Amino acid sequence: MADNFDMIVIGAGPGGYVAAIRGAQLGLKVAIVERENLGGICLNWGCIPTKALLRSAEVFHLMHRAKEFGLKAEGISYDLDAVVKRSRGVAKQLSSGIGHLMKKNKITVVIGEATIPAKGKVSVKGEKGTQDLTAKAIVLATGARARTLPGLEADGDLVWTYRHALQPKRMPKKLLVIGSGAIGIEFASFFNTLGADTTVVEVMDRVLPVEDAEIAGFAKKAFEKQGMKILEKTSVKKLDKAGGKVTAHLESGGKVTTQEFDTVISAVGIVGNVEGLGLEELGVKIDRTHVVVDEYCRTGVDGVYAIGDIAGAPWLAHKASHEGVMVAEMIAGQKGHPIKPGTIAGCTYCYPQIASVGMTEAKAKEAGFDVKVGRFPFIGNGKAIALGEAEGLIKTVFDAKTGELLGAHMVGAEVTELIQGYVIGRTLETTEEDLMQTVFPHPTLSEMMHESVLSAYGKALHI
């Protein structure tokens, strides 16, 4: 006999477990199905453990700069196994915390592989057999995995995905990173900081192709200053493995050259986990490995929702969590509150950090806006200089007619923490006047956000 619930969530990542918690808070009887670890890719193999690794690299970098701060540090080195162990410990701690939250909210956790044999029914195959569940609402939150391109398949030895890179068997000496999105650049930054001879290949015309061109260009110069090699408008045609080395065939401008590496990290995007669930038989539409949904995350099949990475871009944990809350509230009978894509920030935790929200300058112009653009460099900010982090830029884009903040783009120290100020501004449809009249505390990095707004209107004070 099947166990009956009000809502069944398939996938316990940042979209799924948040949906489950919100549903339980609203009095729903909730079950969540997970085939691996509570917390999903984000907590176990993505957002969190990579930040732990990058923090270790940041501290290592600062140790080498000790003399700048009047300090002495000799014999500076690292223990890669210990760095990785700390990262895995952070991930384990947070995953265990999700388990506690499930118990606290009386959510039934079912471990196993889920399929949807019919509308309102979920079958879970686990170690102890098959368990049948029923519910009026099913939330798909199965996430995504690394994309594999023909000829660039990972083997875990010479060619890695992000999972292999999180638990490296060795420290790469000569590293090739394929793809310069957030995942690729973060791993490139980590291994480069620890001493790997690092090359990044990007098929598009610039690194960090989704970011504002000016910000991406600033970041590129910073990466190259650190010794990283950046190859743009370049594709990897194939990888030849022999003698513990990888020969990469690189094509640029119609010419193919070869370079030898001891390690390759493939970071060429993700594909949604849509297979094996029975979605198409159920009538759920799939488009290029992602479930087709409307703004309320409805699939078109009554009682079936899809959230997070499986529902398409932007592939961000905070977007998934917001969708999870919205869907749970709708299932409980409340009004939905759709996400506005232009209010979702993107953050990349390399060195220097990069963060953005809303339209780039180019996109705003393409959309027909007459724009005013403000810029403020870190070198003009007292706190940045005191921190020894005077390289960076904050850029703002406004509608010249209405004063609406169309977008904000940053590169530099701690910008991933600063961006939320502009996110709130975008959400509240803030104008330049609102921001100009806001008092920013001194001395803080946030003062640069104010100055960038002032700059857009010719009123900057410290440049």
442 has catalytic annotation: yes
Copy the structure tokens of residue 194: 């620890």
Q: Which of 316, 332, 297, 292 is nearest to 26 (CA)?
A: 332
Measured CA to CA in angstroms, residue 438 lies from 93, 343, 394, 450 at distances of: 39, 20, 17, 8
- DSSP reduced 3-state for 51: helix
Residue 171 burial by Cβ neighbours in a 10 Å radius (0-12, 13-18, 19+): middle
The active-site residue out of 64, 100, 337, 442 is 442
- Rounded Cα distance between 439 and 97, Å, is 38
CB of 264 closer than 8 Å to CB of 160 = yes
Rg (CA), the chain: 24
Answer yes or no: are the C-beta atoms of 139 and 16 closer than 8 Å.
Answer: yes
In whole angstroms, give the CA distance from residue 268 to residue 147: 6
What is the H or E stretch that residue 54 is in? helix 47-64
Question: Is the Cα torsion angle 331, 337, 341, 343 positive or negative in sign?
Answer: negative
The secondary structure of residue 216, as a DSSP letter, is H
Q: To 10 degrees, the CA torsion angle through 455, 387, 347, 422? A: -40
Helices (H), 309-374: 317-331, 361-366
Sheet (strand 197-201) strand order = 159-160, 263-266, 174-178, 197-201, 229-231
Q: Contact at 8 Å (CB) between 200 and 230? A: yes
Q: Which residues pair with residue 327 across a beta bridge?
A: none
Q: Which residues are catalytic?
A: 442
